[in-house]
Amino acid sequence: MAPLRLQHLHFPSHNPSHFPPYSLASKLQSLLRRQHLDHKDSPSGPPPPPALISFTPLPIYTLGRRQSSPLSQSEIARLSQPLSLAGGTTTLPVTTSHSPRGGLTTYHGPGQIVLWPVLDIHSRSHKQFTVRCYSRLLENTTISTLRSLFRIEAFTTEDPGVWTAVEGKEERKIAALGVHLRRHISGLGTAINVDMPSTADVTDEKANPWKRIVACGIEGKTVTCVRERLPADQVLRGTEEVADGWAGELARRIEVDGGVEKMGVERVLRLLEEAIDKSEEGEEQGEREYINDVWKGVKIGWVEEALNRGV
């Protein structure tokens, strides 16, 4: 019998025009979760392997379940203002969407790596977890990855997420956490700020998405990123390299005997096409465009170049 491996599905990106829509990752997550749920309903053959989806999306604000009242039109208009990147040389549209996670509003976008494990926390194929222990698993996997890749000492507090200390005292969030479970099948996960504006770094709302919100509704707290915490002479690893490190740490902690199997780009693209076709929500703007752009990139070689650069 082949050893069980964690399947790592990474969305490649080449430049700001090739970031995937958040909705596309959500559709892939739904497809993988449905495979687990179908196996629970009709358990013939081995269960689906645990998986990890990693991606950097186009800019988006997601609204958690604690967002009890709808945003006003003026609030939506403020959040949806285009975001300026790379010193103003690139401008990207910003969207908003509701999320099944807890909490209030948070941001995902360029400079961040989003990591969504899809696994059965009660599976007999690997280590089992309670709901609380699963949240701790995500936090500890993130803390260990930051330490091993960047020598950053991070920790947890009474507030959700992973934090670092600035000048030994001020706590700033470096990674967000959001969990959704359906019949013990995990959804959502964590998002690590790798190279993006921090709360204190850039004060202009046009260039700093965090200035438009109180992140996750936690007043008086700020965010930081890996780049901000590194010495000037230390190399900043790319988002894909961070995802690979996180995947390896997760595989070790859930005790799969075969480690990580990273899925090839062409196989990921076919799964994305299947996810769109089977989605009950229908196709959304930009999803096919991203897939088609990456298929073109496979043919001309930019995808391989991007993967070699760790983006």
pLDDT for residue 297:
82
Which residues does the annotation mark as catalytic?
216
pLDDT for residue 170:
83
Amino acid at 239: T
Q: What pLDDT band is residue 88 in, cutting at 50, 70 and 90?
A: low
Average pLDDT over residues 21-35: 97
Average pLDDT over residues 127-150: 97
Average pLDDT over residues 263-283: 94
* Segment 162-217, tens digit of pLDDT: 999 987 678 999 999 999 999 999 999 999 999 998 765 667 888 899 888 876 56
CA distance 241 to 3: 24
Residue 311: pLDDT over 60: no
Length of the chain: 311
Helices (H) and strands (E) in the chain, counts: 8, 14
pLDDT for residue 66:
58
Question: 6-309 architecture in CATH?
Answer: 2-Layer Sandwich (3.30)
Residue 307: pLDDT over 60: no
When the pLDDT of each residue in the chain is averaged and rounded to a whole number, the result is 89
Two structure tokens written together for 120:
């059965």
pLDDT for residue 102:
60
Residue 37: pLDDT over 90: yes
Instruction: Give the lowest-confidence range in 214-223, 252-261, 275-284, 289-298.
Output: 214-223
pLDDT for residue 299:
78
DSSP 3-state helix, strand, coil percentages of the chain (rounded to 5)? Answer: 35, 25, 40
